[in-house]
């Protein structure tokens, strides 16, 4: 049983290089964008030689993938709070709230959004964590829609797979457009702007039977 590692700097060994590397990498991304990350710069900020990061990450891609995993974890955490905030008897309202949260989170942390959804900077398929958490989100949506159908809130004749697909595409597209500056300026800590809410509202409203609420 190894003793607890003390964080004594100034020693030859860093102590917690991995965590620090992830932190400074996010720092770089937030300062200069994902595409300007270099492992040399990360190493420098961690106070370590250019080759040191390669002891812990096989490649730059591996480093960025680890950052993505951490970001995805935070998204899941933000999601966990949704259920307590919406009426569980209105699954479609929960679904809408889910979409709003995603948009708010994506625009408040475009850095994390970008890296999670990148298939060129990270190796999504190689990460069990990313794949399973992504599948969990989809599963959650299917469950909400299924419950809505059982309660008679959903109009008939819908293929749930297509609905999920449309919802995801819509929200993803909205997030991208927001980040790329297609919306009037507003502070990201506020709820998503009217336009995005309306687009979501439009979609949810259209799959809801008119009698339900």
Q: Does the footprint of DNA cover residue 170 (CB under 7 A)?
A: no
Among 4, 11, 120, 210, binds a copy of itself (CB under 8 A): 120
Contacts of 161 by beta carbon, 8 Å cutoff, 6+ apart: none
Q: Per CB under 8 A, does 148 bind a copy of itself? A: no
Binding a copy of itself (rule: CB under 8 A), the pick from 67, 75, 144, 174 is: 174
CA-based nearest residue to 213, from 83, 86, 89 = 89
Between the CA of residue 168 and those of 21, 65, 96, 134, what are the distances in Å?
A: 32, 22, 11, 12
Measured CA to CA, the distance from residue 53 to residue 61 in angstroms comes to 12
Residue 95 binds DNA (CB under 7 A): no
Which of a copy of itself, DNA, none does residue 131 bind (CB under 5 to 8 Å by kind)? none
Q: Which does 92 bind (CB under 5 to 8 A by kind): a copy of itself, DNA, none?
A: none
Interaction of residue 48 with DNA, rule CB under 7 A: yes
Which of a copy of itself, DNA, none does residue 168 bind to, with CB < 5 to 8 Å depending on kind?
a copy of itself
> Residue 149 interacts with a copy of itself (CB under 8 A)?
no
Q: How far is CA 1 from CA 5, 15, 110, in A?
A: 11, 17, 41
Stretch that binds DNA, among 31-39, 84-92, 94-102, 184-192 (CB under 7 A): 31-39
**Tokens standing for 181?**
């500056």
Q: Distance between CA 97 and CA 180 in Å, rounded? A: 23
Nearer residue to a copy of itself within complex by CB, 140 or 168: 168
Phi-psi region of 195 (alpha: psi -120 to 50; beta: other; left: phi over 0): alpha
Quick check: 7 binds DNA (CB under 7 A)? no
Task: Choose, by CB under 7 A, the member of 19, 33, 35, 40 that binds DNA.
Answer: 40
Q: Provide the b/e sequence for 127-155 (b: ≥16 CB within 10 Å).
A: beebeebbeebeebbeebbebbbeeebbe
Query: Residues in the site for DNA, rule: CB under 7 A?
Result: 1-3, 5, 8, 11-15, 17, 37-41, 43, 48-52, 54-56, 58-61
Query: Residues in the site for a copy of itself, rule: CB under 8 A?
Result: 33, 35, 119-120, 158-159, 161-163, 165-166, 168-174, 176-177, 180-182, 195, 198-199, 202-203, 206-207
């Amino acid at each position: 049983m190894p003793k607890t590692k003390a964080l004594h700097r100034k020693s030859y060994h860093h102590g917690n290089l991995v965590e620090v590397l992830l932190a400074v990498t996010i720092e770089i991304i937030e300062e200069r964008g994902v595409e300007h990350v270099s492992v040399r710069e990360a190493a420098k900020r961690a106070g370590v030689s250019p080759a040191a990061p390669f002891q812990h990450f096989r490649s730059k891609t591996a480093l960025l993938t680890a950052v993505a995993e951490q970001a995805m974890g935070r998204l899941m955490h933000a999601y966990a709070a949704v259920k307590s905030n919406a009426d569980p008897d209105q699954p479609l309202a929960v679904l809408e709230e889910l979409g709003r949260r995603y948009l708010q989170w994506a625009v408040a942390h475009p850095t994390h959004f970008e890296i999670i959804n990148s298939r060129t900077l990270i190796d999504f398929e190689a990460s069990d964590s990313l794949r399973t958490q992504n599948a969990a989100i989809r599963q959650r949506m299917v469950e909400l829609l299924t419950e809505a159908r059982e309660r008679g809130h959903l109009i008939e004749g819908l293929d749930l797979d297509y609905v999920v697909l449309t919802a995801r595409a819509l929200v993803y597209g909205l997030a991208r457009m927001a980040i790329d500056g297609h919306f009037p300026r507003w502070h990201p800590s506020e709820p998503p702007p009217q336009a995005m809410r309306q687009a979501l509202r439009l979609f949810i409203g259209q799959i809801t039977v008119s009698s339900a609420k």
